Structure 1
Amino acid sequence: MKKPYYLVLLMLISLFSCKRDNRVIIKGDIKGLKSKWVYYKPVYPQMGKSTDSAKVTDGKFEFSFQPDTAFFANLVSISYVDEKGIRQPIAVANPYEPAKNHSRYADFVAGPGLTTITGDLTTNTGATLKGGPQTEFYLRNITLPFIRISKDSIRRNEQAARIKKIIEQSPDAYWVVYAFSNFKYYFNHEQLKDFYTGFSDESKSSYYGRRLKQFIDDQPATKNQFANSVFVDKDTKPVKLVDSTKKLNMVIFWASWCGPCRSEIPSLKRITAQFNKDDVRFVSVSVDAKKEDWLLAMKQEDMAWQQLIISQQQFAKAQAQYNLGAIPKVYLVNNKSIVVKKIDGFDDGNEERVKTFITDYLSKN
C-alpha cells in the first residue's frame, strides 16, 4: 500500500533534480590556432589568473563546467599563447553590429548550454560566437552598460523606464545585472530598489546581483542624508566626517591620481582661507588604495585643513554612502548631517559658487 507514495516521492525528486541543466559547454574550432593550449578566465577580478585550460587539437578545443548553482553566467575570455610567446585573446565579432564597424571583443558572456567559437586567425575578421540566451542577449545589447545616463531629470527618467522594461523582458540576463556596476550611481534609492525587485531570483543571487543589493542597503535612505562615517588621518587616528559644533562642513572626496582633483586644490586653498574655522569645518577624504600615494600627494599639495583616507575595507560601503562613482565630489553638510549642497566634478566656476553659497548660508544660520 505504501509503494505509490514512494513512487510519487521519487518522481518529485527526479523532477526537481532535473529542473534545469546548467552545464556550460564552450567548443572552439579556430583555423590557424597553433597553440597547444587555450586558457579560460573570468574577466573579474581583473588581475585574476586563468581558472581552466583545454588542449588544442587541429584548432579544436572544449571547456565543460557543471556549476553548483542554478544560475550561471559570467563575462569571460579565452586566450592562447602565440608563436612569439605572447598571450593573445580569441577576439569575437558581433554579428548584430554593422559590418563597417569591424568591432571585435576579447570578452564574452558564457551561460548555460552550448557556446561555439569558430573563426580563422589568418584573417582579420575575428571569431564568430554563437550561444544560448545569455550569450545572445550580450551580443544584441553589448553597449547597454555604457549608456551615458543623462543629468537632465526628464531624460534620465526616460532612460530609467527603458532599463526597467529591459529587466521585465529579461529578468535573468547577466548583462543587465552587470550594467548596474555603472548605472547604480545615477539613479536614486527608490529607483534602484524598483530595478532590483524586477530581477529573477537567480539574478539576485549572482555575484553582481548581490553587489547591487549591498549597494542599495548601504545607501542613505534619502539623498540628503549624509552618513557621519569615521575614517582615519595620517597617524591612523579615527575622525568623524561631520563636526556637529560647526554651522557647516565641507567634505571633499578626491585621490592623488585624479587630475581634476589636483586641479581643484588651489581653489580649495582660497576657499578655506576665506572662512572662519569656528563656523566651517573643511575635510578632504582620499579614496587612494595606497596610503603612501596619498601621503606623497599631501606633502606635494600642502593642504592646511583636515585630511583623511578611506581604508580599502570601508571603500565599497563608502561608495554607496557618498555615491562615489566619480571624483572630485564636494558635499556641504550642516551640523545635523543633512546635505545642503553637492557639487560633482571640477569646474573653474565652482570656487565662486561655493564661496557665495557658504557666505549666504552662514548669514542665514
Structure 2
Amino acid sequence: MIKTSKFLKTIFILQYLCGFYTDFFKRRKWNILFRILLSISIVNILYGTLSMQRQNNVVLFSIIALFNLFDYTLAVILSFVGGNVLHYCHRKLLKLDGQMRWRKINLSMSLTISMFLILFFEKSYIAWGYYGSIKERFALDYNWKDLVGFILWCLVKFGLLFNDFIRSLTFEWIWIYMRTLRKTFQDTTFKRKKLVSNLQTDDIERVIFGYIGTLESLNSMGLTFKILIFWNVSFAFIFTLIATVAIIYTPVRELSLFMTAEALYHIIIFLYPCVLIELTRSEVDKMKLLLTEIYTLSSDDKILTKAEDALLLLEVRPFQLVVFRLISMNIHLPLHFLAVMTSYVIVTVQFTHAFG
C-alpha cells in the first residue's frame, strides 16, 4: 500500500503556511477552523502584496507581480473549492492498489522531486536578490513594511511552487502505476520471451481492469485540475511574451533576468506533465505489443477473444488528457506551443518597435 512520505507531508504543511487548503488529511472537525484561519491569512497576503505594488514604479515588474498574485489567488480559491487534487488521485490509486496483484510499487517521486529542487533553487535565487535590495534599504532607513512585503512575496512565490509540485506529482504517480501494470502483465504472460502455457483469461482481464482504473484516477481530479492546467499553459504564453519584450527593451539587466526566470518557471511547469503523460502512453503502447503477441502466438480461442477485446478497448479509450477539448496533453503540445510562440513573439517585437 502507498504510504505518504515525510517529505510529502512537509510539503502539505508548507502549503498550509502559504495559504492553501487541502483535504488530503481528512479531519472534518478541523476543516472549518483551517478554512477560517487560511481565509484571514489570504486576505492579509493579498492586501499586503497589492499595497507593495502601489509603491513600485517599475511597470513591467509590477505587471509580473500582479500576474503572479492573480495566479496565486486562483490557485488558492480552487484549493478551497476542491481541496488538493492529489487527494482524489491518491484515493483512487489506493483503492486500485488493494484490488490488484501488482509487482512491488516504488513511488520514488525522483523525477518530480528533482524538478522541484531545481525550481526551488531558482525561486530562492530570486528571493535572495530581492532580499538584497531590501537589505540596502534597511541600511539607509529601516521600514518594517518592506520586511512584511518580502515575507508576503515569499508566501506567494513558494506557495505556487508547492502547489505546482503536488499537481505534477500526480502525473508521475500515474506513470509509475502504468509502468508497474505493464511489468506485472509482462511477468505473468511471458517467460524468457516465450508465452507461458498456463495463461488465463483472468490475467488479461486484470490488465484491462488496471488500465481503466489508472485512467479513471487521472480523470478523477475533475474541473479544478483542468482549470489549473489550462492556466499553466496560458501563463507560459503570457510570460514568454512579457519576458521577450523585457529582455529587448528593458535596460536594467537584473530586471530582465528576473522576468526570464519567471518565464522559464511557467514553461517548465507546463512542459513537465506533457513528458510524463508521453512516458505513460509509451507504457500503454508496450502493453498493446504484449497483447498483439498473445493474439499472434496463442491457440486458445478464449485467450484470443479476450486479447482482441483488450486491444479494442485500448483503441477506443486511449490514454490521454484533454483539457476543455482545447488542449491535449502530449509530447506534440510543446512543439505546437513553440510554433505559436515564435509567431506571436515576432509580431509582438515588431509591434513594440513600431509604436515604442
Q: Which has the larger radius of gyration?
A: 1
Whether TM-score is above 0.5 comes out as no
**What's the TM-score once normalised by structure 1's chain length?**
0.21
Highest RCO, 1 vs 2 (Cα 8 Å, sep ≥ 6): 2
**What's the TM-score once normalised by structure 2's chain length?**
0.22
